[in-house]
Structure 1
Amino acid sequence: MRQRIITGVIAGAGFIGFTIAGGWLYTGLLILLALIGTTEYARMNGVAWSHPSALLGYAGVLLFVLPWSEWGIVIPSVLAIVWMLAFLLLALTVVTKNKTTIDGAALMLLGALYVGYGFAAMREVRQIEEHGLLWTFIAFGCIWASDIGAYFMGRAFGKTKLWPSISPNKTIEGALGGVLFSLVVSAVFALSVPEVISLPKALVIGLIAAVAGQFGDLIQSAYKRVRDIKDTGALLPGHGGVLDRCDSWLIVFPLLVLTELLPV
């Protein structure tokens, strides 16, 4: 536990510092996390980083997460990227005479979308012209509040298992505590900067961040059970890998962008 706390404090402080700095520091960190996350995803599925399907996965992730517009480069839409990547991965099954199977192609397509667009959404939010840092902290604040609330309320009051076949330690009481903490934090933001975000909108963001964030955690737990692994990686001692730590982020940020709750 001590190692987990120390690692969490150091990594959290560093991440917040990069987020405040913004620009290439933040973008570069997200790109690095996305590439490490893609490596973890490939390894989880028994695919070496140098395998052609993994290389296409990396390419797809970079198409999503690199700041092309800042370089004056127009890239295709998200749908176009997904389709082109799907075509190349399917073509790979033919070229390799099914050494790369259609199942393997589908897994890498899913991974590129999950990891690539997830981190790309985080970058887009931070780059919002007006109050980008504030919107970023609203989203992260609600996610982190949900994590904290679920942990402490679960420990204090948890009796009813939420989804024991997927994550045996999570409880319904903890999940509700996570929602409550997230709503409180979102309300604090709204009351602090009412000229930027209204209370009803903040509460919707808080609710989505809590519910979707907890689903993101459960999704990763379910996947790890299928692959019979404890952690996706060992980057952060006591915390696991990038996908272990960012599982909620990768679901919440795209949802908030796609629902236009954040003004990207």
Structure 2
Amino acid sequence: MKQRLITGIIAGIIFLGFCVIGNMPFHLLVLGMSLIGYYEFVRMIKVRPFSGIATLGFLGVFMIMFPWKLLKITYTPQWELIWILLFLLMLMTVLSKNRINIAQISLLLLGVLYIGSGFYFIAESRHAADGYGLFWTFLLLFSIWASDAGAYFVGKQWGRNKLWPAISPNKTVEGALGGIIIAILIALIFAACSGGLLGYGRAVLIGLTCAVIGQLGDLIQSAYKRAYNIKDSGKLLPGHGGILDRCDSWIIVFPFVHIVMLLPY
């Protein structure tokens, strides 16, 4: 627990520091995190990280995360990039005479979409066009962290009913509800300090979303780690595991709030 706390504080301070700096340093940090996350994913699904098909996946994540807008390059990869990557991966099944199979390339493409889109929207939040990217990024991060902390401490103190024991045996219904309430309170505090930028109704929705979708993101990762019989996705962060272990909620919440247009910009 002590190691986990120390690592969390240090990593949090570094990440929040880059959030404050913003612009290219922040984007490059998030790009690096996305590539490390994809490396963890590739290893988990038992594909050699530096094989040809894995390299295509890394290239896909890199292209999604490349700072096109910051470099004022008008082209931004969208569906055409996904199609090209899909075509090349499927072509590898032909060229390898099915030594590389459809299951492998499907998982690699899934990883590109899951990890690439997640970190892309983290970067996009900080680069928000309204100029308040730091506020929106902190709002989502602190709401997610509040949900995690609330679920842990409330569940530890009052948890009695298991939430989803087949996937994550330690999570409880009471903890999940505690996480939701605390995340909403944090979002309301942001609204109160926003000078009218964020309304209280929208703050409640954002806090609720960060808690519910964030906990689902946690369960999603728990499910696929259980399928591969691993505890942590990596060992980069002592006491926390890998990048995907630490960012499992982020890479689901950030895309979700953008897609449903919860952020008012």
Deviations 1:126-167 (A, max 9, x none): 001321100111111110110010001001110000000100
Paired residue secondary structure (1:229) = coil
Paired residue secondary structure (1:3) = helix
Is 1:147 matched with 2:158? no
1:83 alignment partner AA = W
Q: Do the aligned residues in 2 keep the contact of 1:48 with 1:54 (CA within 8 Å)?
A: yes
Offset, 1:84: 2.0
2:38 alignment partner AA = T
Is 1:16 matched with 2:13? no
Offset, 1:251: 0.1
Gaps of 5+ in 1: none
Identity %: 48
Q: Do the aligned residues in 1 keep the contact of 2:23 with 2:70 (CA within 8 Å)?
A: no
Q: What CA distance in whole angstroms lies between the structure 1 residues aligned with 2:158 and 2:214?
A: 21
Q: What CA distance in whole angstroms lies between the structure 1 residues aligned with 2:119 and 2:264?
A: 17
Partner of 2:135: 134
Offset, 1:28: 1.2
2:16 alignment partner AA = I
Offset, 1:76: 5.0
Q: Do the aligned residues in 2 keep the contact of 1:257 with 1:263 (CA within 8 Å)?
A: no
Partner of 2:242: 241
1:61 alignment partner AA = V
**RMSD of aligned C-alpha atoms?**
1.2
Partner of 1:113: 113
Is 1:122 matched with 2:110? no
Offset, 1:193: 1.1
Paired residue secondary structure (2:86) = helix
Offset, 1:63: 1.4
Is 1:162 matched with 2:178? no
Q: Do the aligned residues in 2 keep the contact of 1:128 with 1:263 (CA within 8 Å)?
A: no
Partner of 1:175: 176
Task: Identify if the C-alpha distance between structure 1 residues 109 and 258 changes in structure 2 by more than 3 Å, giving closer, same or farther.
Answer: same
2:59 alignment partner AA = A
Q: What CA distance in whole angstroms lies between the structure 2 residues aligned with 1:263 and 1:71?
A: 25
Partner of 1:53: 53
Deviations 1:204-243 (A, max 9, x none): 1111111010011011111111000110000001110000
TM superposition score normalised by structure 2: 0.96
Paired residue secondary structure (1:70) = coil
Q: Do the aligned residues in 1 keep the contact of 2:68 with 2:76 (CA within 8 Å)?
A: no
Partner of 2:30: 30
Q: What CA distance in whole angstroms lies between the structure 2 residues aligned with 1:77 and 1:6?
A: 38
Partner of 1:192: 193
Q: What CA distance in whole angstroms lies between the structure 2 residues aligned with 1:80 and 1:204?
A: 33
Aligned pair count? 264
Partner of 1:98: 98
Pairs within 5 Å for 1:207-222: 207-222=208-223
Paired residue secondary structure (2:8) = helix
TM superposition score normalised by structure 1: 0.97
Deviations 1:180-220 (A, max 9, x none): 01100111111111421111111111111110100110111
Paired residue secondary structure (2:230) = coil
Partner of 2:39: 39
Paired residue secondary structure (1:69) = coil
Q: What CA distance in whole angstroms lies between the structure 2 residues aligned with 1:108 and 1:81?
A: 14
Offset, 1:85: 1.5
Is 1:251 matched with 2:252? yes
Q: What CA distance in whole angstroms lies between the structure 2 residues aligned with 1:118 and 1:81?
A: 16
Paired residue secondary structure (1:110) = helix
Is 1:205 matched with 2:206? yes
Farther off after superposition, 89-98 or 67-76? 67-76
Offset, 1:77: 4.9
Farther off after superposition, 138-147 or 91-100? 91-100
Q: What CA distance in whole angstroms lies between the structure 1 residues aligned with 2:215 and 2:85?
A: 29
